[in-house]
């Protein structure tokens, strides 16, 4: 087990950063396997690549979680589900 006490991390914080790292590594492998990212113009009128859509997904998910904490409470399971649906929508339509 990693000793994360020097930064007062909880297992949830470590998991969050591990997932972000896994997403970045996955996007790197995807870009290596299929270069170019297939830039396209979606519903926002922006020309985006896969990396842009990942960034928009992560940023939107952060706002969804913050809004959920402020308006609903600390049970974030539904916020996570909503964020996953949001990310799928971003990758599909943006």
pLDDT at 4 over 80: no
Domain of residue 3, residue span: 1-35
Tens of pLDDT, residue by residue over 10-23, are 888 888 899 999 99
Domains identified in the chain, total number: 2
Provide mean pLDDT across the span 44-53: 90
Tokens of 1: 């087990």
Show the 3-state SS of the chain.
CCCCHHHCCCHHHHHHHHHHHHHHHHHHHHHHHCCCCCCEECCCCCEECHHHHHHHHHHHHHHHHHHHHHHCCCCCHHHHHHHHHHHHHHHHHC
Instruction: Provide the whole-model pTM.
Output: 0.82
* Residue 71 pLDDT: 96
**Do 17 and 47 have their domain in common?**
no
**Do 9 and 44 have their domain in common?**
no
**Do 54 and 76 have their domain in common?**
yes
* Residue 83 pLDDT: 96
* Residue 66 pLDDT: 95
- Confirm if 27 and 52 have CB atoms less than 8 A apart: no
Provide mean pLDDT across the span 5-14: 79
């Amino acid at each position: 087990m990693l000793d994360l006490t020097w930064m007062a991390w909880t297992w949830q914080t470590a998991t969050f950063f591990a997932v972000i790292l896994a997403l970045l590594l996955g996007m790197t492998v995807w870009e290596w396997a299929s270069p170019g990212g297939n830039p396209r113009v979606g519903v926002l009128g922006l020309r985006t690549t896969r990396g842009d859509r990942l960034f928009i997904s992560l940023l939107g998910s952060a706002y969804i979680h913050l809004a959920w904490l402020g308006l609903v409470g600390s049970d974030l399971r539904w916020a996570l589900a909503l964020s996953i649906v949001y990310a799928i929508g971003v990758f599909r339509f943006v």
